[in-house]
Structure 1
């Protein structure tokens, strides 16, 4: 059921289903780091393991620490005539020519240790133009590209010398199995790598850009920055664990009963007791500030209430005495006299008063005695 398949003994269920017939709904398992669900478990790539392929293996041994490459070469054989049967790689004529050509090349390249053989790609007219690959196999080193460049130069020199020496004489006799046109030899400038341990290590891996090959104790290994004891290893100190992520290798820091650890390599630790103490002190200071603010708030509210009470009393006093709005001035005498019938306005009284200065002599001087200060003892 639910897309399961029968093996002859049991049902293989798709991810998310369980039971002897895949009839029950189960939890979906997410396979990480390029892993895939096979119906029973996560099938992890060679660098990861665990129920969800979440763990990184330390290293993977390289079973064949060599580089295999090929170099394209074109030569022209003059000691044999071309026929259409040579186009057919299954024909007897092609088989014979292939055997003769292979033996001849083995003698020519005998001085090149990396030589593994030749593969004829095509034969064409003129007399017989042979397009073939020279197969090379060199020990793997991080500088293998430079090694291959030197091998290609050596190979080019060797084949050109051979084609210049193996030529027909005036009677068209050939001193070797095959003779060549010395001016028609062409050699590819660079080797084409077909097998590289580094590429094999990276093949199909989600984190291929972080995988390389290193030697340890005479053995080559596929390693990542999370492998221990290699040149590319990332040091996460004692309190961290390396984990490969899409952004690169990261140190996941741990915490103990007494410390928290952080930093790029988890080498920076802080005591938990110190953090708790600082947090406690911060909380105490905060509570103290809140208490002070509360006291000031209460005092402010009381003062505001007192001022409101005074204002209310003034309003009430003014209303009871008929004074109107507090803050205005009233002359009680005028208020009282205005109610009398024989009230005489003050302006009419003051209109009959005329001040006179005719009896004042400005020449007279007034003597004012200086006040005396008497000191008394207590």
Structure 2
């Protein structure tokens, strides 16, 4: 859209940007996503849902790696400088590998305990449940197998080994608990459609989305007008 630095006054865009259009000689609103109209007050029938990702239970997996190096008494304290040196070195390698399982859902990985037997590092990786039924089922049913394949892959093990001066590294086990989110419906308590008036959350194509009242109530205008989703007032007939 051709625009200049003209100052636009009296332009009510309700969260959108007001710009001067050289072609028309008028100020126009550039609306945010899923919003349209000359004042950015009308919403599309489907919008993205708001998800409180910080409250959703994560998908966790635990595993242990045996590193063929001397065990130090200082490893009893994870905050000791010797422990921190080993942990930071190992977590740097594990982050790269654990992301491979599901890059978009990956959250964090941390070493939780160091014990003797050479050095056995118990670790825990977390993945965030996404708004996607297929990925939720992947995390619930395939994560253990995929992580095992990644952490036993020769190239990946060699990468960790190199970081520790080519010491032998061996995966001891991988375990996952029972999932707290069994399918896409389990996300419902953690989402809302409060951004737009009268929008409700529905599942479509394996994902939650916010649906406008004109779609959920197609006969709202009784065929005597066009229903529009006013994002502040709710459905209106034009």
**What is the TM-score with the length of structure 1 in the denominator?**
0.33
Quick check: which has more Rg, 1 or 2?
1
Say which structure, 1 or 2, has more relative contact order (CA 8 Å, 6+ apart). Answer: 2
**What is the TM-score with the length of structure 2 in the denominator?**
0.49
The structure whose residues are more often strand, as a share, is: 2
